[in-house]
Amino acid sequence: MDIQVDFSGRGVDYTEEEIAVAVEAMRVANPLTQGRYQSAFEEKFRSFNGAGHAFAVSNGTCALEIAAQLCRLKDGDEVVVPSHTFTSSAYPFLKRGGKPVWADIDPRTRVVTAETLKRALTSRTKVIVAVHLYGYVADMPAIMALARERRILVVEDACQAIGADIDGVRAGNFADFGVFSFHSHKNLTTLGEGGMLTVKDDTLADLVPLLRHNGHCPFAFEREDYWIPAMGNVDLPELEGERLWPANFCLGEVECALGARQLDRVDSINAQKRGRALAFIDALREYPELVFHRVETSRHNYHLLAARMEGSVARRDDFIRRMMKEHGIKCVVQYYPLNRYPFYQKLGFGRADCPAADDFFDHMISFPFQHNMTEDEYRRMLAATLRTLDEQRRRRLL
Ligand SMILES: Cc1ncc(COP(=O)(O)O)c(C=O)c1O
């Protein structure tokens, strides 16, 4: 059957106002990068998120690259990362000498906890990367208490969790660094690519503009003639005598203009998705073979809607196959444990003691859940799910 409900690569549709803001920026922004729209977006993000410092960057991976560099890893320093996450939660740290130690997830919430992280800590642990996968904020107060006790840096990968909070503290605002993605699939997207880095420490924050933009900075003196000695200074970012390498990770002005405007809508996008997720989960209450993570509060923004199918892997595969073949609903399986990828295996990091992550991956189903899904598509997906589960019961598939 043709696809009726796709696992879309695009998460949201823009409103006419948002389009007008982007068009206006296209007309008037000068320069088209590193201008007033960037400053306005960062300022608005700081007040939205509660962060002291926020820097717009080209995407979430660039935010992780900068955070990884500011962690100043030495060869052999260990970085504890969940195995169940997107690849760029991990590899920017490996590029700088870090050795990943894979942390397991909690089977109920599908994210790391202080307990699962604790099991992965050693005397060499320098950094923890806490990932709010699916849009659910990991238990940051407990994770920060654990990290502070042992003087470990924490990076919050909030790429999927914009706007989600614990008791009013937004994701990305607990740890030393917070990273966000505005990729095409996210609840806020700046034309397909974009990201934000939040930084707690003032000294580290001062370095971010240089790291983000080729080491560019003002001259330390007043120039009598604006062209002498040159347009702008380039310096080597340094921290306590250690050299850091810059790159060009800037986000364009049109994207910043759009992002700032979309921030006004994030809470309502999240609330709409949460409402739909809860209604979907509740409608399947009589089917305990599908186990969802049900969260009524804004701690979950339901960027994604994932479930575990009890029973055999064959039953999960049968479900996904039937949903597609008989109903045209494209469910997927996500977050291949990183240690199973050739990338990490070739580097010698192919072993993980993460039974819950492995088990969840082998039984998980990720439903299409983009914000721009129509009411009709949503109803079809629910009806198809009910019919497929009934069919599996009828065939006594376990
Ligand atoms: C958990 C997680 N970390 C990191 C990233 C990387 O973000 P980006 O695609 O913007 O580079 C993503 C998004 O795709 C993500 O979902």
Separation in Å, CA 248 to CA 18, 82, 237, 363: 27, 28, 14, 40
Enumerate the domain spans of the chain: 16-260, 266-394
- In CATH, the number for domain 16-260 is 3.40.640.10
What is the rounded distance in angstroms from the CA atom of residue 216 to the CA atom of residue 248?
Answer: 10
Going by pLDDT thresholds of 50, 70 and 90, the confidence category of residue 354 is: very high
Tell me what the pLDDT averaged over the chain comes to: 97
pLDDT at 196: 98
Is 182 a residue whose pLDDT tops 90?
A: yes
Compute the radius of gyration of the chain from its Cα atoms.
22
Q: Cα dihedral sign for 284, 286, 289, 292?
A: positive
Residue 109 CB less than 6 A away from ligand 1: no
Is 289 a residue whose pLDDT tops 90?
A: yes
pLDDT at 1: 85
Residue 190 CB less than 6 A away from ligand 1: no
Calculate the dihedral angle through the C-alpha atoms of 239, 245, 247, 249, rounding to the nearest 10 degrees: -40
Residue 195 CB less than 6 A away from ligand 1: yes
Going by pLDDT thresholds of 50, 70 and 90, the confidence category of residue 154 is: very high
Provide mean pLDDT across the span 264-276. 98
Q: Which two tokens stand for residue 346?
A: 């070739």
What is the rounded distance in angstroms from the CA atom of residue 27 to the CA atom of residue 91?
Answer: 38
Q: Which residues, including other chains, have CB under 8 Å from residue 132's CB and lie 6 or more apart?
A: 111, 138, 156, 157, 158, 159, 160, 161, 164, 171
- The region of weakest confidence among 134-143, 188-197, 223-232 is 223-232
**Which mutation among 10, 156, 183 tests ligand 1's pocket best, with the greatest number of atoms within 8 A of CB?**
183
Contact 256, 190 (CB under 8 A): yes
Q: What sections of 195-340 are H helices per DSSP?
A: 202-212, 253-283, 313-327
What is the rounded distance in angstroms from the CA atom of residue 163 to the CA atom of residue 160?
Answer: 9
Contact 32, 25 (CB under 8 A): no
**Which mutation among 10, 57, 61, 302 tests ligand 1's pocket best, with the greatest number of atoms within 8 A of CB?**
61
pLDDT at 199: 98
Which amino acid would we find at residue 276? R
Atom number, ligand 1, closest to the C-alpha of residue 132: 1
377 three-class SS: helix
Residue 139 CB less than 6 A away from ligand 1: no
Residue 183 CB less than 6 A away from ligand 1: yes
Residue 173 CB less than 6 A away from ligand 1: no
Atom number, ligand 1, closest to the C-alpha of residue 194: 10
What is the rounded distance in angstroms from the CA atom of residue 268 to the CA atom of residue 85?
Answer: 26
Is 262 a residue whose pLDDT tops 90?
A: yes
Is 119 a residue whose pLDDT tops 90?
A: yes
Atom number, ligand 1, closest to the C-alpha of residue 64: 4
pLDDT tens digits for 297-319? 999 999 999 999 999 999 999 99
Atom number, ligand 1, closest to the C-alpha of residue 160: 16
pLDDT at 245: 96
Atom number, ligand 1, closest to the C-alpha of residue 63: 11
pLDDT at 118: 98
pLDDT tens digits for 185-197? 999 999 999 999 9
pLDDT tens digits for 84-96? 999 999 999 999 9
Architecture in CATH of 266-394? Alpha-Beta Complex (3.90)
pLDDT at 224: 93
What is the rounded distance in angstroms from the CA atom of residue 52 to the CA atom of residue 202?
Answer: 8
Residue 181 CB less than 6 A away from ligand 1: yes
Residue 55 CB less than 6 A away from ligand 1: no
pLDDT at 231: 86
pLDDT at 385: 98
Q: Cα dihedral sign for 280, 281, 282, 283?
A: positive
CA of 183 to the centre of ligand 1 (A): 7
